[in-house]
C-alpha cells in the first residue's frame, strides 16, 4: 500500500475511533433503558453528527473557496462568510422575530447572510488581487458586522442577548433530532455536487482563462461554487454558530500532506480530517468540561490561529 492509501485508511480509522470515543464521553450516569434511548437520539447522536458534519463541511467549503479565489488563505471565516450569516441571524434573533425560532427561519436567514457575504467578497476579489488586501477587506467586513450586532444588542431584551451570545460562542449541542435531517441533507447535497465537479475543479486550479480553454463552463462553475460554499458555511453557522479557522486550515494541511492539487484526494481528505479534527476538539472540550468550559469556537481558534500564522510566516 502506498503512502496516500495508508494515509486515507489511517484517517478513516481515526474518524471512527474518535467518534466512538465521543459517544462514550457523553455518557450520563445511571438512567433506565427508556431514558437511555431518548438520550441517545436526542443528545448524543445529534452532537456527534454536528461535529462530523461541521468539521467536514467547513473544510470542504474552505477548499472550494481557496480554489475559487485562487488563494490558499481564503476560508469561510476570514472572508467574513460566517459574519454575514451571523449578522443576518442577529437581525432576526435580536430583532425579536418570533418565526426566527423555527428551523426554516434560522437556516434561511443564515443562508441568505452567507450568500450575500460571499457574493460581496467575490466582487471585491475581482478588483483586489492581493491576498493581504482581500483578507483586510474580509476582516473589516467581519468587524463591521460585529459592530452592527453590538448596536442591535443594546436594543434587545436580556433574554434575546443571552440567546444570541450563546449561539455566537459556537456550540455543537444546539442541533436537535428534528433539525438533523435538514442539516444532513444540505451537507450531502453540497458534497455530492463537489464530487461531481472534480474534473472542472482540477482545471480551475489553473485560473479561469485556462479552465475555459480546457472546456470548463467557467461562469456556471463560479456561481455554483459560490452557492455551495455559502450553503455549507451558512447552514453550519446557523446550527453550530461561527466556528473559526477549520475551513482555512484543513485544506492547507491536506495540500501539504498529499502534495497535490487533485480535488478528489483533497475533498476526501477535507471530509475525513475535518470531521476528525472537530470531533477531537469536541472530545477535548468534553474532557475539560468538569474543570472549565471551553466553547468549540475558542478551541478551534486556539489550535487553528497559530497554524495559520505559521503558514503565512513560511510563505513570506
**132 interacts with another protein by CB under 8 A:** no
**195 interacts with another protein by CB under 8 A:** yes
**215 interacts with another protein by CB under 8 A:** yes
Between residue 53 and residue 72, which ones bind another protein under the rule CB under 8 A? Answer: 72
DSSP, residue by residue, 136-157: HHHHHHHHHHHHHHHHHHHHS-
Q: Count the residues of the shown chain that bind another protein, applying the rule CB under 8 A.
A: 27
Do residues 148 and 87 touch, judged by C-beta distance below 8 A? yes
Residue 181, classified by CB atoms within 10 Å of its CB into exposed (0-12), middle (13-18) or buried (19+), is: exposed
In whole angstroms, the minimum distance from the beta carbon of 218 to another protein comes to 8
**Applying CB under 8 A, which part among 20-28, 140-148, 159-167, 253-261 lies near another protein?**
253-261
**189 interacts with another protein by CB under 8 A:** no
**Applying CB under 8 A, which part among 20-28, 103-111, 116-124, 214-222 lies near another protein?**
214-222
Residue 301: Cβ within 10 Å count: 18
**Applying CB under 8 A, which part among 38-46, 78-86, 261-269, 289-297 lies near another protein?**
261-269
In whole angstroms, the minimum distance from the beta carbon of 230 to another protein comes to 22
In whole angstroms, the minimum distance from the beta carbon of 122 to another protein comes to 20
Residue whose CB is less far from another protein, 253 or 286: 253
Nearby residues of 297 by Cβ (< 8 Å), 6 or more positions away: 169, 170, 241, 242, 243, 244
Do residues 230 and 115 touch, judged by C-beta distance below 8 A? yes
**173 interacts with another protein by CB under 8 A:** no
CA angle (83, 84, 87) in 5-degree steps: 80
Q: Which of 13, 150, 185, 210 binds another protein (CB under 8 A)?
A: 210
**146 interacts with another protein by CB under 8 A:** no
**193 interacts with another protein by CB under 8 A:** no
**202 interacts with another protein by CB under 8 A:** yes
**307 interacts with another protein by CB under 8 A:** no
- How far is it, in rounded angstroms, from Cα 224 to Cα 166? 32
**159 interacts with another protein by CB under 8 A:** no
Do residues 281 and 244 touch, judged by C-beta distance below 8 A? no
- How far is it, in rounded angstroms, from Cα 109 to Cα 258? 37
**150 interacts with another protein by CB under 8 A:** no
CA angle (45, 172, 175) in 5-degree steps: 65
C-alpha cell at 190: 453540497
- How far is it, in rounded angstroms, from Cα 247 to Cα 190? 15
Residue whose CB is less far from another protein, 20 or 214: 214
In whole angstroms, the minimum distance from the beta carbon of 145 to another protein comes to 31
Residue 258: Cβ within 10 Å count: 17
Element spanning 280, H or E? helix 263-288
Residue whose CB is less far from another protein, 50 or 194: 194
Between residue 67 and residue 106, which ones bind another protein under the rule CB under 8 A? Answer: 72
In whole angstroms, the minimum distance from the beta carbon of 195 to another protein comes to 7
- Contact positions toward another protein, by CB under 8 A? 72, 195-199, 201-203, 205-206, 209-210, 212-217, 255-256, 259-264
Amino acid at each position: 500500500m502506498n503512502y496516500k492509501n495508508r494515509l486515507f485508511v489511517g484517517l478513516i480509522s481515526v474518524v471512527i475511533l474518535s467518534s466512538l470515543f465521543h459517544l462514550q464521553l457523553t455518557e450520563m450516569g445511571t438512567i433506565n433503558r427508556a431514558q437511555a434511548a431518548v438520550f441517545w437520539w436526542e443528545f448524543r447522536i445529534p452532537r456527534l453528527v454536528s461535529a462530523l458534519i461541521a468539521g467536514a463541511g467547513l473544510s470542504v467549503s474552505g477548499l472550494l473557496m481557496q480554489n475559487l479565489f485562487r488563494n490558499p488563505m481564503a476560508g469561510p471565516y476570514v472572508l467574513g462568510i460566517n459574519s454575514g450569516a451571523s449578522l443576518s441571524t442577529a437581525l432576526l434573533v435580536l430583532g425579536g422575530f418570533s418565526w426566527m425560532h423555527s428551523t426554516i427561519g434560522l437556516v434561511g436567514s443564515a443562508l441568505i447572510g452567507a450568500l450575500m457575504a460571499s457574493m460581496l467578497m467575490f466582487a471585491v476579489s475581482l478588483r483586489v488581487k492581493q491576498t493581504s488586501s482581500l483578507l483586510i477587506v474580509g476582516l473589516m467586513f467581519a468587524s463591521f458586522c460585529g459592530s452592527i450586532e453590538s448596536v442591535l444588542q443594546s436594543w434587545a431584551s436580556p433574554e434575546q442577548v443571552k440567546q444570541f451570545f450563546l449561539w455566537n460562542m459556537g456550540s455543537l449541542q444546539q442541533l436537535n433530532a428534528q433539525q438533523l435531517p435538514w442539516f444532513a441533507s444540505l451537507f450531502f447535497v453540497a458534497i455530492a455536487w463537489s464530487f461531481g465537479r472534480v474534473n472542472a475543479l482540477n482545471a480551475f486550479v489553473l485560473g479561469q482563462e485556462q479552465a475555459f480553454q480546457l472546456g470548463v463552463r467557467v461562469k456556471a462553475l463560479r456561481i455554483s461554487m459560490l452557492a455551495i460554499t455559502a450553503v455549507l458555511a451558512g447552514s453550519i453557522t446557523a446550527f453550530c454558530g461561527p466556528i473559526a479557522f477549520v475551513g482555512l486550515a484543513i485544506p492547507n494541511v491536506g495540500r501539504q500532506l498529499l502534495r497535490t492539487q487533485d480535488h478528489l484526494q483533497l475533498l476526501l481528505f477535507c471530509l475525513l480530517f475535518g470531521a476528525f479534527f472537530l470531533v477531537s476538539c469536541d472530545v477535548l472540550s468534553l474532557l475539560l468540561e468538569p474543570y472549565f468550559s471551553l466553547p468549540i469556537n475558542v478551541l478551534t481558534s486556539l489550535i487553528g490561529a497559530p497554524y495559520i500564522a505559521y503558514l503565512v510566516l513560511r510563505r513570506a
